[in-house]
Structure 1
Amino acid sequence: MSETQLSSQQAPLPSHGSFQQAPLPSHGSFQQAPLPLDVAIIGGGFAGIGTAIRLKQKRIENLAIFERGSAPGGTWRDNTYPGAACDIPSRLYSYSFAPNPDWSHTYSGSAEILKYIERMVDDFALRPMLRFGHNVTGVHWDEASSLWEVTFDDHPSVRARSVVMASGPLANVSFPGIRGLDTYEGHKIHSARWDHEFDFTGKKVAVIGTGASGVQIVPELVKVAQSVKVFQRTPGWALPRTNLTTRRTTKDLYRKFPAAQSIARKAWFWGHESVALGVVWNSPLTRVVEAVGKLHLRRQVRDPWLRRQLTPDFRAGCKRLLMTSEFYPALQRDNCTLVTWPIARLAPKGIRTVEGIEHQADVIVFATGFDVSKTGTPVPITGRDGRVLADEWSSGAKAYKSISVAGYPNMYFTFGPNSGPGHSSALVYMEAQIDYLVDAISHAIARNSVLEVRADKQSEYNTDLQRRLQRTTWNSGCSSWYLTEDGFNATMFPGFASQYVGQLKSVNYDDYTVTEYRARVTAARAATV
């Protein structure tokens, strides 16, 4: 069945009179077009699934989730490297409207998180709405019909009244631009595209990167490889992570009394809120975080020279904090070596560093993270009057409250510009965004209207946002993936999670221009008759 056929079976739009059957103009002909979706959701990860759940709970079911992969899960479907886990407690790294009493540990692994996502899909009956294998090639606003057209690689395009860009910032990956990358004759593996068929047993392994994924991969590889060389560009602040097994009695309690789990979630939330005082802003509590990190390093690493190599020279919080109790011990295994000389290039047999040494390796693991879109857009998006969002975001992405962009009516972003948390769960931020955009979409459907954020309100919001960011640790001078090359911070939110959630409690429709669908579609229809 084609996507056009699928779309034609969706429920009709709320409408007046003959608008229900109005086709789009088609070069002067008057042909019946499939009825548009109420909502097209792009991305089948946490954000897309959560959006669909909340829309269904509002009785909006004329929607589809377009996922380029063959299964839901997003980054947790793709990240299956050894040791992959979340560094936020599971009680907080989950939706409050879909609690899971069965988390096995304080911090869950990727397989368990993926199982949670799949369970939400089944519990809320979302599978009929999922369209797998749909790689989006463009999203275009049609002024005549007040509809979005979404195009794909190998499927017919679809039209929708609203679009939710739920692809997320951690979706695309590529090997880093290291000289000689194509000359290397060994095996290359990216952490987000793990090769489970490759056997590391007895191999000489090189790992490039000591960020969040690198510190999880290395402890697993040293257990089986002949040797592991870890190439570090910049050391990070690491804090201990105690990953306790959840008792059966605790699971039973949460299952019988959901309020108990809600209380536990709130306790984790406010505990992480207190951490913001030490990592979002440079304060006396920042010294406390750094003291904990140094103590953790001293307790786990006895060699003074190795400790020096692993000690950051920037304020805690300026880069992402690392939560690990396994990385430092792994580095001190007899078969593991830390290399801090910068990489000059890749050679046919391994990695050459700037001092002239070639480190031979059977396989190179690139724990180098994702292609985070701080500028441009993950797919081409064309808005009102032919404006191109990638051009407007070329010097740094900007949006109103991370969600709406002027000139792009009825389009909403999850995990959009400046919605990154430095101290709390991304799902806390994401859940607030979802509830906000669902309210806006419900409003537009009920009133048969088009919502577009005002350019002046968007500008005011971002001017204040960037002013506040100047006082945060992220803008204190270190180089990180939070910033563009010229230092613009399009990634993080400069405040508490409770502040971010608070600003999204309700939609201020005075900050939007509101127009009606009916007049535009009726006029378009009349022009073709």
Structure 2
Amino acid sequence: MEIIDTDVLVVGAGFGGIATAVELRRAGIHDVVVLEASGEVGGVWRDNTYPGAACDVPSPLYSFSFAPKPDWPRRYAEQPDILRYLLRVARRCGVYENVRFHSEVVSAEFGERTGRWLVRTAAGAAYSARVLVPATGQLSRPAYPSVPGIGTFTGESFHSARWDHDCELAGKRVAVIGTGASAVQFVPFLRERAASVTLFQRTAPYVLPKRDRIYTERGLAFLRSVPLARQLDRLGFWLYTEFAQQCLSRWHFFSPLFTVQARRHLRRSVADPGLRAALTPDHRLGCKRVLFSNDYYPALTSSTVDLVTSEAVAVTPTGLRTADGRQYEVDVIVYGTGFAASEFLGSMTVRGLSGRTLAEVWRDGARAHLGITVPGFPNLFFVYGPNTNLGGGSIVHMLESQARYIRSAVRWLLDHPGHCLDVRPEAERRWDREVRGRLARSVWTHCRSWYRDTSGRVVSIWPGRTFTYRRRTRRIRLPDFRLLRLPAPGEPPGPVTQ
């Protein structure tokens, strides 16, 4: 079987994979292959086509710093516009030259004699790379609730991330399980189309008003003609999100400012005291994802929408049964239950030194130095790895930071053939202690959320400012790594520590 050689192999062509490929190309590193399981770039913005899909980070900030877009139609871009933006960036920056589509990675194994990663795809292709960069993201694999009987439902059902646009909703009784970021966007659409909507809520989320607006032609012309105005626009949003992130991390005395906004939004939107009580969160603002919507609460006040707070305990052939014994007959079930955020590699098997798998190393929770490197897995660098998500702010800023760090590591490796970089366990432990210490002071340890894995460990969130993370990842620090030299002819197998 032919094995294709490359210097760098990136897995995934979403925001993170595109950022990495562009950063490497800008540094003159072109021997890069990006393996994408789908048939197009775009990641979550390619897959999430549900009605109302949009970003809750302002458009000027939710874009690459190297590819500003002066003509966003509105402040908070919708899915089609974000996807078009990503396709355009990939095309203009030459990323398509590096992408191999329909290439789902199933395994990656580090060769201790070769110092290279052998990567295999579901289609049977094999690649050999000096550097492996998983950029599969935290929000790419839909999660379904652990409710018995899901397979027995005889009506139509689908996850919001795999929206069935052929499903006719007019006149149907629709059940929605989940009240997360996707649900608050598509429930208003369902309310307008379906005969009835039954929304099953486990925990009431905090919902803030979305300060959205359509950009006027005059405003867009100004932004196009005055680059400084675009930069100041982006800077202003960045400073605000830095403030919000810091409030969630440390400055808890500012949190009431956001809590008051959320309660006022609920009070002004929902007049019925019983419904308002059911929609009032019972946890601290921020420990679960804060949502933004102007039409979610009004949709729930409709006579055709029923909010159910009793837990769904079973799916039946004709609907759902709740803990209080009630049966709800429905025609369609939509699962708005989010993603397997703590499963960073999905079904991919990754083996490092001594044949240890990453799943074994992460048995007690995912962890990585800077969210990027793991001891025992040389020349492997994560994008959007453990503890690099944000409770407030633009993940694109974090992805660019990681891409620059990876570029500096790849440049060093290309300048030092025959060597590998393996992060020191003590460096990873130092970083993990710092992250755990920051999390202990933050809001994210105060309730159960998708930020945690099954053991209760918070594995998703970076508990600090993006500025701090950018500074810490400015370039690779060699003292944090063991330098592994490949064995010379006649030497015993296995890398040699220098």
Task: Identify the TM-score tier after normalising by the shorter chain.
Answer: over 0.9
Q: CA deviation at 1:394?
A: 1.2
Deviations along 1:343-393, one digit per CA (max 9) or x if unpaired, are 121111111112221111110000000112258765111001111111110
- Which residue does 1:511 correspond to in 2? 480
The CA deviation at 1:161 is 0.5
2:408 pairs, out of 422, 429, 439, with 439
- 1:226 and 1:523 map into 2 onto residues whose CA distance is 74
1:29 matched to which residue of 2? none
How far the C-alpha of 1:61 sits from its partner, in A, is 0.6
Contact kept, 8 Å, 2:352 with 2:377, in 1: the verdict is: yes
- Give the conservation status (yes or no) of the 8 Å contact 1:202–1:225: yes
Alpha-carbon distance between aligned partners in 1 of 2:145 and 2:491, rounded to the nearest angstrom? 51
- 1:502 Cα deviation from its structure 2 partner: 1.6
Aligned to 2:442: 472
Q: TM-score of the superposition, structure 2-length normalised?
A: 0.95
How many residues end up aligned between the 2 structures?
492
User: 1: distance between equivalents of 2:472 and 2:91?
Assistant: 32
Taking a change above 3 Å as real, the CA distance of residues 89 and 524 of structure 1, as seen in their structure-2 partners, is farther
Secondary structure class of the residue paired with 2:258: helix
Q: Highest Rg: 1 or 2? A: 1
Amino acid at match of 1:462: D
Residue equivalent to 1:397: 366
Between the aligned partners of 1:61 and 1:507, the Cα distance in structure 2 is: 20
Q: Which runs of 5+ in 2 are unaligned?
A: 494-498
Cα 1:504–1:406, aligned 2, differ >3 Å: closer, same or farther? same
Q: Distance in 1 between the 2:140 and 2:2 partners?
A: 24
Shift of 1:51: 0.6
1:80-99 matched pairs, under 5 angstroms: 80-99=49-68
* Deviation at residue 251 of structure 1 after TM alignment: 2.5
Distance verdict in 2 for CA 1:505–1:288, change over 3 Å:
same
Residue 331, structure 1, aligned to residue 311, structure 2: no
Find the aligned partners of 2:489 and 2:140 in 1 and give their Cα distance. 36
For residues 251 and 474 of structure 1, the distance between their equivalents in structure 2, rounded to whole angstroms, comes to 38
Distance in 2 (CA, whole Å) between partners of 1:351 and 1:126 is 46
Q: What does residue 456 of structure 1 align with?
A: 426
Letter in 2 for 1:353: T
**Equivalent residue number for residue 76 of structure 2:** 107
Contact 1:282 1:473 in 2 (8 A): no
Aligned to 1:27: none
C-alpha distance in 2, partners of 1:121/1:287? 41
Query: Residues 451-490 of structure 1, C-alpha deviation per residue, up to 9 Å, x if partnerless?
Result: 11111111111112112211110012x1101112332111
Question: Counterpart in 1 of 2:281?
Answer: 312
Q: CA deviation at 1:514?
A: 2.1
Please point out which of 367, 385, 389 is paired with 1:416. Answer: 385
The one-letter code of the counterpart of 1:149 is L
4+ aligned runs moved over 4 Å, structure 1 = 374-378, 519-525
- The match for 1:200 among 163, 169, 179 is 169
Q: Which deviates further from its counterpart, 428-437 or 277-286?
A: 277-286
User: Does the alignment pair 1:348 with 2:322?
Assistant: no
Alignment match, 1:58: 27
Distance 2:377 2:344 in 1: 17
State the identity %: 36
Q: Contact 1:375/1:396 (CA < 8 Å) preserved in 2?
A: no
Residue 349 of structure 2 is matched in structure 1 by 380
2:334 aligns with 365
Q: Distance in 1 between matches of 2:330 and 2:492?
A: 64
Q: Distance in 2 between matches of 1:192 and 1:3?
A: 35
* Aligned 8 A contact 1:137 1:379 in 2: yes
Matches within 5 A, 1:157-172: 157-172=126-141
CA-atom RMSD in angstroms: 1.8
Listed as ranges, the gaps of 5+ residues in structure 1 are: 8-35
1:236-247 matches, within 5 Å, as 236-247=205-216
TM-score by length of 1: 0.90
In structure 2, the partner of 1:173 is 142
- CA–CA separation in structure 1 for the residues paired with 2:450 and 2:171: 34
2:470 corresponds to 1:501: yes
8 A contact 2:34–2:100 mirrored in 1: yes
Partner of 1:33: none
Matched, 1:126 2:95: yes
Partner of 1:272: 241
**Matching of residue 299 in structure 1 with residue 255 in structure 2:** no
Question: Residues 282 and 315 of structure 1 are in contact (CA less than 8 Å); yes or no, is this contact kept in structure 2?
Answer: no
| Deviation of the 1:146 alpha carbon | 0.5
Which of 123, 127, 135 does residue 104 from structure 2 map onto? 135
Q: Which residue of 2 aligns with 1:182?
A: 151
Pair 1:37-2:40 in alignment: no
Contact residue 342 and residue 452 of structure 2 kept, 8 A: no
Is 1:278–1:288's contact at 8 Å kept on the other side of the alignment?
Answer: no
Asked if the contact 2:19–2:403 (Cα under 8 Å) also holds between the matched residues in 1, the reply is yes
CA distance in 2, matches of 1:428, 1:3: 38
Is the CA contact 2:8–2:129 (under 8 Å) kept in the aligned structure 1? yes
* Cα distance change of structure 1 residues 230 and 3 upon mapping to structure 2, 3 Å threshold: farther
